[in-house]
């Protein structure tokens, strides 16, 4: 995951994942513009292993986090100095999630993501819808739907770690470790949706699993 080299920036060609465009409108009689990104909607899944009472996370390299860890003056280099900026700067800790890029019910996509990323084979009936919300409201506003599921060790049928060229490490944290994470005053390389998910779990589910 942290074997990183040959990092450089280039113009964005046509992409199946991100489509930048300018939104033009008139509001209260004044003409305005706003630069936006069209992206896929997505699902996110809170996965808690009840056998060992641990929260299941995924750890992966996120280029956006890495890029924003590089000083603006160093972004202009022909290649980014990976000794000065190691890959660890871009590693995020997240809950299981994935884009909606198939013509399937979102529950089916959530089930697939849990299996592919975390290795657990969950039944659709095990998926509890938590909330649906708009993410990245400044530039994209895509819809993300969050689910919660409880798994057991017996449901672990695959290794996890993603598919194709994904490099994902499955991480487990106890409830006290999750609470410590949420109390941290450091910069966390976790998206707001993940932190919200953990707070939701602590508020709504954690008490019945405390020893």
Asked if residue 48 belongs to a domain, the reply is yes
198: three-class secondary structure by DSSP: helix
Does this model's pTM top 0.75? yes
What is the count of structural domains for the chain? 1
Looking at every residue in the chain, the average pLDDT score rounds to: 95
Asked if residue 4 belongs to a domain, the reply is no
78 lies in which domain range? 41-209
Whole-number pLDDT of residue 211: 67
Answer whether residue 166 shows pLDDT above 90.
no
Q: Closest Cα to residue 147, out of 188, 172, 113, 187?
A: 113
Asked if residue 27 belongs to a domain, the reply is no
| Contact call for residues 108 and 124 (beta carbons, < 8 A) | yes
CATH number for the domain including 173? 3.90.79.10
Written as six digits, the tokens of 105 are 């019910």
Which residues does residue 80 pair with via DSSP β-bridges, in sequence order?
A: none
Asked if residue 109 belongs to a domain, the reply is yes
pLDDT tens digits for range 103-132? 999 999 999 999 999 999 999 999 999 999
Q: Based on C-alpha coordinates, what's the Rg of the chain?
A: 19
pLDDT tens digits for range 137-162? 999 999 999 999 999 999 999 888 87
Whole-number pLDDT of residue 2: 82
Q: For 27-55, what is the mean pLDDT?
A: 97
Asked if residue 113 belongs to a domain, the reply is yes
Asked if residue 17 belongs to a domain, the reply is no
Q: For 87-105, what is the mean pLDDT?
A: 96
Asked if residue 146 belongs to a domain, the reply is yes
Asked if residue 131 belongs to a domain, the reply is yes
């Amino acid at each position: 995951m942290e074997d990183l080299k040959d990092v450089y920036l280039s113009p964005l060609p046509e992409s199946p994942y991100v489509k930048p465009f300018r939104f033009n409108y008139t509001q209260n009689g004044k003409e305005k513009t706003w630069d936006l990104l069209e992206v896929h909607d997505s699902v996110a899944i809170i996965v808690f292993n009840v056998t060992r009472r641990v929260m299941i996370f995924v750890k992966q390299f996120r280029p956006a986090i890495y890029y924003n860890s590089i000083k603006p003056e160093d972004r202009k280099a022909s290649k980014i100095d990976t000794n000065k900026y190691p890959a660890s700067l871009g590693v995020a800790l997240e809950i299981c999630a994935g884009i909606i890029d198939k013509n399937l019910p979102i529950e089916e996509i959530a089930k697939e993501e849990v299996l592919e990323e975390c290795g657990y084979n969950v039944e659709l009936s095990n998926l509890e819808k938590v909330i649906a919300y708009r993410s990245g409201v400044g530039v994209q506003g895509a819809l993300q739907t969050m689910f919660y599921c409880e798994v057991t060790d017996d449901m672990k049928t695959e290794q996890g770690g993603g598919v194709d060229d994904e490099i994902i490490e499955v991480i487990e944290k106890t409830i006290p470790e999750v609470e410590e994470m949420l109390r941290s005053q450091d910069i966390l390389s976790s998206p707001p949706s993940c932190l919200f998910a953990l707070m939701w779990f602590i508020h709504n589910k954690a008490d019945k699993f405390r020893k």
